[in-house]
Amino acid sequence: MSAFPHVLTVNIPLPSPRLATILSESLSVDEELSPHVHRTFETDGSTLVVRYSATTARMLRVSTNGVFESIKTLLETFQELDEPL
């Protein structure tokens, strides 16, 4: 059995490959705070692919909640700056 049995992959479609790359690079800068969670950010064209694995379902939930808040903030910032998405 894997040490990180709880796995989640989320594909987030975005308006452009540029925005997907910016989000991936922005989110990748911060390391995961918990040693009980592994995460990666990748792009597939204009899709941001977020992969998580965790030791417990609770750790997976807490960690993914944080990244969705960060994604929301980044998208709101782009809209506020009138950057084309």
pLDDT digits (tens, 9 = 90+) for 9-19: 999 999 999 99
Q: What is the dihedral of CA 10, 83, 74, 4, to 10 degrees?
A: 30
Tokens in use for 1? 């059995």
Tokens in use for 2? 């894997």
CB-CB contact of 22 with 51 (8 Å): no
Q: What is the pTM of this model?
A: 0.88
What is the average per-residue pLDDT within 32-56? 96
Distances (CA, A) of 1 to 12, 29, 40, 60: 29, 30, 21, 17
Q: What is the pLDDT of residue 48?
A: 98
**Number of C-alpha atoms within 13 angstroms, CB side, residue 83?**
14
Q: What is the pLDDT of residue 26?
A: 95
Tell the CATH topology of 6-80.
TATA-Binding Protein (3.30.310)
Residue 83 pLDDT exceeds 90: no
What does the pLDDT look like over 51-74, one tens digit per residue? 999 999 999 999 999 999 999 999
- Domains of the chain by residue range: 6-80
